[in-house]
């Protein structure tokens, strides 16, 4: 009979949550808002990109002839055999972004010194940078020529170089794969943090509701306070998982639909941002197909099964720890405004974990700070998950660290739940007092 | 007669503060037992210990002859003073939930709820939300949920608060009815007139200690002091009264009346009512002569005052 009560409580908490109007609205509105935001950003980026700057060029010098290559952002109109005044007039009439005037002189230095860029408004870097690059290249080439470097040799000078990186076993290592893995781990860590903050808050408000509606004493004359607390936490998390699943499913569907409708090319978006090609330099070396394949292979080689099962372990333990604290806070106060002083210390380790994760784990996934924070139980659910995509053992997280952090987490879980249950048990029957930390400490001994 | 509940030297401290100090009580089966005392006397703590919401630091509680066990909560119904319902839940759903927590099956709970909802005339509230209910309605539902699992022991903490007089009477009748059906009832209240009406036994808690307990009639007998209330018509008010005063203990201030019609209290030295009545009838015609029995309220106030005076 005792055992049949917990499912009853879980069921009630779950139903109370999923029937709540604002919960329902948030469940269905959030994906729309989220997808709307992404679509808007994608759309704006596209609009921005299609807004090409056109610059007029009046080139009277032989030093610059074929140097101006059209780029993604700028294109050029070349004026020929007209005076500077006329060129200025035409530039204005055509509504161009500006006019580059290159006069004719004997030597390059003079030409460069006397070149001007005319425009109505101060020109943006997107317009000026490629132009300046052209001048700079020409000047460098010229200088090197005086040192005896031929233009052909100069071209060779500009070959980009990447060092070959290998593992000790001779497998090719990939640049940026650590960052990619950390981002995947970071995604999981971030998910845990969001889940804790949102649904921990729900648990807390639900406890406060029971206190303010005065039903609490009726309930705990039938069930143990600990059962009620546990049922509340589990019921609320199940509601949370339901919401998350709905969010992920509907957001992916919507996103797919939006991109189909507007024809926004996702791959196009990402390459444009990551590879701005400098003018004058030879076209960037294409990533060879086998490198792409290597990335794909690495991606597939991320230990997904291990990662997801450990995600569940860290998620469940981390969430239970934090939501018990939230439940205890809810029990200690009479209304939500009194919760602020207690909530900040909870959010702190979570924020710390995220920041440490993004700043330290990304650059050095197995450094001392990353290791320390992935063992410390209040931050380990987030930080360890950021390290884990590298795998366990050779080249990844040492097995002992994973086991130790889980052990710490379990010990902390038991201790925190014990403390929280005590505070909860006393707190739910206390009315009208705004508790202090000192008071909470006293409750532990009741 | 068996005792449904026995508390033996129950002590509970919160920090350095005693909430209960060696309180011992015996609550007989099938009676209404009044648990009285000023605010903060320890009543609620004692009730919470019986419900195993909190636990005593020392001392023990026997339920039905053996130490209180966790499963005994199914045999206890508790209506706390601080009570409420989930505001956004439907009435029927909520009553079912609370009944199931007490161990009833869903179908059994439904059947009994139907009976009680009709009995208290709130049948059409089943699908309403609690926030639409008046306070009295909500109280009725709480009362039903408390008694639904037919517990051996019922504990009512201020059961009449929030009821209008008509509904308070309905609930009072239901409580008496439950007692007649065999339940034992602990009744905690400040409202002394309901104690007088309902309780067979009382215990008085004050400053965490029990200062008085027993059968209400016996306690009243202990507290009466041969005071009688007299209404009489004197032939000659002045001389008649002076005469009486010289022989008996009559408070002058208490004499009310005019034209020979007097209303006063007299305290006799012993149970010697015969002589006083004989004396009185020679000078006045007696309309009324009644022994003043102290009310529960008088006893309550007097004992607490005495205790504070010490």
- Give pLDDT tens digits for A197-251: 888 999 999 899 888 888 888 888 888 888 898 899 999 989 988 988 888 888 7
* Chain A environment of B76 (Cβ under 8 Å): 221
pLDDT at residue A370 in the model: 85
The residue ranking higher by pLDDT, B103 or B256, is B103
Encoded tokens for A17: 């949550």
Average pLDDT, chain A: 79
Contact A218 B145 (CB under 8 A): yes
Percent of chain B at pLDDT exceeding 90: 36
Hey, which of A358-362, A441-445, B99-103, B252-256 has the most confident mean pLDDT? B99-103
pLDDT in tens, B32-84: 999 998 888 889 899 999 998 888 999 999 998 899 998 888 899 999 988 88
Q: Does A410 touch chain B (CB under 8 A)?
A: no
Encoded tokens for B298: 């008088």
User: Among the CATH numbers 3.40.630.30, 1.10.150.20, 3.40.190.10, 3.30.2020.30, which is that of A49-157?
Assistant: 3.40.190.10
Contacts of B99 (CB under 8 A, 6+ apart): B109, B112, B113, B145, B148, B149
Contact B86 A214 (CB under 8 A): no
pLDDT at residue A284 in the model: 44
The residue ranking higher by pLDDT, A310 or A179, is A310
DSSP-derived pairing of the beta strands B58-63 and B66-67? antiparallel
Q: Is the pLDDT of residue A274 over 60?
A: no
Residue with tokens 């139907």: B114
The residue ranking higher by pLDDT, B191 or A315, is A315
Q: Is the pLDDT of residue A29 over 50?
A: yes
CATH superfamily of B3-221: P-loop containing nucleotide triphosphate hydrolases (3.40.50.300)
pLDDT at residue A272 in the model: 40
Contact A215 B145 (CB under 8 A): no
Question: What does R_g of chain A's alpha carbons equal in angstroms?
Answer: 31
pLDDT in tens, A146-205: 887 777 777 777 777 777 767 666 666 666 666 677 777 778 888 888 888 888 999 999
CATH superfamily of B225-291: ACT-like. Chain A, domain 2 (3.30.70.1150)
Contact A213 B86 (CB under 8 A): yes
∠B36-B37-B43 over CA atoms, to 5°?
80
Q: Residue ranges per domain, chain A?
A: 5-38+174-271+285-443, 49-157
Q: Does B11 touch chain A (CB under 8 A)?
A: no
What span, in angstroms and rounded, lies between the C-alpha atoms of A112 and A108?
A: 6
Q: Does A442 touch chain B (CB under 8 A)?
A: yes
How confident is residue A283, by pLDDT bands cut at 50, 70 and 90? very low
* Chain A environment of B98 (Cβ under 8 Å): 218-219, 222
Size of interface A-B (CB pairs under 8 A): 67
How far A230 CA sits from the closest chain B CA (Å)? 15
Q: Is the pLDDT of residue B179 over 60?
A: yes
Among A102, A54, A98, A92, smallest CA distance to A76 is for A54
Q: Does B198 touch chain A (CB under 8 A)?
A: no
Chain B nearest-CA residue for A439: B15
Q: Does B67 touch chain A (CB under 8 A)?
A: no
Q: Does A213 touch chain B (CB under 8 A)?
A: yes
Provide the whole-model pTM.
Answer: 0.73
What span, in angstroms and rounded, lies between the C-alpha atoms of B138 and A214?
A: 12
A300-312: average pLDDT: 80
Q: Does B102 touch chain A (CB under 8 A)?
A: yes
Residue A147: CB atoms within 10 A of its CB come to 6
How confident is residue A109, by pLDDT bands cut at 50, 70 and 90? confident
How confident is residue A3, by pLDDT bands cut at 50, 70 and 90? low
Q: Residue ranges per domain, chain B?
A: 3-221, 225-291
Cβ pair A245, A236 in contact under 8 A? no
Interface predicted TM-score (ipTM) of this complex, two decimals: 0.79
Q: Is the pLDDT of residue B246 over 80?
A: no
A390-415: average pLDDT: 86
Which of A21, A215, A226, A331 would best serve as a mutation to test chain B binding (most B beta carbons within 10 A)?
A215
The residue ranking higher by pLDDT, B218 or B263, is B218
Q: Is the pLDDT of residue A400 over 80?
A: yes
């Amino acid at each position: 009979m005792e055992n049949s009560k917990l499912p009853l409580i879980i069921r009630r908490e779950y139903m109370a949550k999923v029937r709540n109007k604002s919960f329902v609205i948030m469940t269905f509105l959030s994906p729309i808002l989220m997808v709307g935001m992404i679509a808007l950003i994608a759309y704006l980026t596209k609009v921005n990109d299609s807004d090409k700057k056109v610059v007029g060029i009046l080139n009277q010098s032989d030093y610059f002839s074929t140097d101006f290559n059209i780029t993604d952002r700028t294109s050029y109109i070349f004026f020929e055999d007209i005076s500077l005044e006329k060129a200025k007039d035409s530039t204005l009439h055509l509504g161009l972004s500006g006019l580059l005037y290159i006069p004719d002189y004997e030597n390059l230095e003079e030409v460069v010194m006397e070149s001007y860029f005319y425009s109505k408004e101060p020109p943006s870097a997107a317009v000026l940078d490629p132009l300046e690059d052209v001048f700079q290249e020409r000047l460098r080439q010229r200088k090197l020529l005086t040192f005896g470097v031929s233009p052909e040799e100069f071209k060779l000078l500009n070959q980009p170089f990447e060092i070959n990186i290998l593992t000790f076993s001779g497998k090719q290592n990939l640049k940026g794969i650590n960052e990619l893995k950390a981002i995947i781990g970071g995604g999981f860590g971030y998910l845990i943090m969001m889940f804790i903050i949102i649904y921990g808050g729900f648990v807390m408000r639900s406890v406060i509701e029971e206190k303010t509606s005065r039903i609490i004493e009726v309930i705990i004359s039938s069930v143990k306070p600990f059962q009620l607390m546990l049922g509340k936490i589990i019921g609320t998390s199940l509601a949370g998982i339901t919401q998350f699943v709905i969010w992920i499913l509907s957001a992916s569907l919507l996103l797919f639909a939006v991109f189909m409708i507007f024809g926004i090319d996702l791959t196009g978006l990402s390459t444009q941002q990551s590879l701005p090609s400098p003018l004058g330099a030879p076209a960037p070396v294409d990533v060879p197909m086998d490198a792409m394949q290597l990335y794909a292979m690495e991606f597939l080689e991320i230990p997904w099964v291990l990662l997801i099962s450990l995600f569940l372990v860290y998620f469940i333990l981390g969430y239970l720890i934090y939501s018990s604290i939230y439940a205890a806070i809810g029990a200690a106060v009479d209304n939500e405004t009194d919760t602020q002083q207690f909530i900040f210390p909870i959010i702190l380790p979570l924020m710390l974990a995220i920041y440490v994760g993004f700043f330290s784990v990304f650059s050095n996934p197995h450094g001392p700070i990353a290791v320390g924070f992935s063992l410390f139980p209040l931050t380990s659910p987030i930080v360890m998950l950021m390290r884990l995509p590298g795998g366990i053992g050779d080249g990844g997280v040492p097995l002992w660290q994973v086991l130790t952090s889980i052990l710490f987490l379990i010990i902390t879980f038991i201790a925190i739940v014990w403390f929280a249950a005590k505070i909860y048990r006393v707190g739910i029957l206390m009315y009208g007092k705004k508790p202090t930390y000192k008071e909470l400490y006293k409750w532990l001994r009741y | 007669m068996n005792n449904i509940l026995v508390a033996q030297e129950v002590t509970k401290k919160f920090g350095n503060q005693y909430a209960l100090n060696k309180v011992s009580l015996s609550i007989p089966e099938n009676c209404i037992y009044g648990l009285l005392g000023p605010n903060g006397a320890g009543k609620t703590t004692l009730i919470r210990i019986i419900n195993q919401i909190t636990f005593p630091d020392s001392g023990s509680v026997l339920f039905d002859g053996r130490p209180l066990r966790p499963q005994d909560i199914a045999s206890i119904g508790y209506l706390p003073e601080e009570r409420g319902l989930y505001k956004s839940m439907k009435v029927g759903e909520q009553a079912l939930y609370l009944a199931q927590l007490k161990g009833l099956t869903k179908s059994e709970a439904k059947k009994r709820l139907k009976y009680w909802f009709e009995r208290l005339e709130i049948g059409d509230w089943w699908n309403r939300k609690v926030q639409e209910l008046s306070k009295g309605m909500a109280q009725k539902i709480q009362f039903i949920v408390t008694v639904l699992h037919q517990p051996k022991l019922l504990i009512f903490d201020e059961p009449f608060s929030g009821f209008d007089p008509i509904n308070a009477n309905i609930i009072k009748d239901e409580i008496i009815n439950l007692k007649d059906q065999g339940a034992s009832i602990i009744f905690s209240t400040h409202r002394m007139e309901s104690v007088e009406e309902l309780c067979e036994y009382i215990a008085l808690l004050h400053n965490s200690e029990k200062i008085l307990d027993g059968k209400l009639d016996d306690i009243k007998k202990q507290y009466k002091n041969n005071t009688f209330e007299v209404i009489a018509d004197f032939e000659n008010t002045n001389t008649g009264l002076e005469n009486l005063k010289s022989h008996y203990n009559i408070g002058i201030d208490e004499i009310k009346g005019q034209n020979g019609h007097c209303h006063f209290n007299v305290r006799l030295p012993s149970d010697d009512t015969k002589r006083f009545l004989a004396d009185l009838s020679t000078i006045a015609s007696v309309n009324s002569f009644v022994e003043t029995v102290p009310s529960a309220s008088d006893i309550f106030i007097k004992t607490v005052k005495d205790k504070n005076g010490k």
